Structure 1
């Protein structure tokens, strides 16, 4: 991602702009989920989008956000997994 962004003079957007963009993308994901799994079918005039595409957009923005703040997203994810594996280890019923 950094190689891609680094080829442009503008570089990464500011953290505030990235937060706004992430919010937009999550809203677009919510709309698609509602169309396919909720009670709001898509209008015939609406463009075709997919949940897969919206998730990809979110991953793109999250990666830009992390890189712009010099945060290792892999480390962030590992911290989250460790927290879930310790804090939530007995929260749900295990399968046999």
Structure 2
């Protein structure tokens, strides 16, 4: 299942001149996405309340972003 998802991402990425960002940029993107998941979980279960002006985000969508970033990094390295 994950290999299929990785292949779909790679097929899509190969349509660009530079299919994947450099490794450190990819790691930064992955870290940013994990931070967004942490922020949401903290809002949902921790003491930090969400500000009224903050847009609603879905935890599932943010987890998918983490998986996408991780698969891009994995694809770049075989």
Tell me which residue corresponds to 1:28: 36
State the TM-score, normalized to the length of structure 2.
0.86
Q: Give the counterpart of 2:62 among 54, 58, 61.
A: 54
C-alpha RMSD over aligned residues: 0.7
For structure 1, which runs of at least 5 residues remain unmatched after alignment?
71-96
Query: Which structure: larger Rg?
Result: 1
Post-superposition offset of 1:7: 0.6
State the TM-score, normalized to the length of structure 1.
0.70
Larger helix share, 1 or 2: 2
More relative contact order, 1 or 2 (CA 8 Å, 6+ apart): 2
Number of residue pairs the alignment of both structures matches:
70
**Moved beyond 3 Å, runs of 4+:** none
Post-superposition offset of 1:6: 0.4
Give the SS at the match of 1:66: helix
For structure 2, which runs of at least 5 residues remain unmatched after alignment?
1-8
Post-superposition offset of 1:41: 1.5
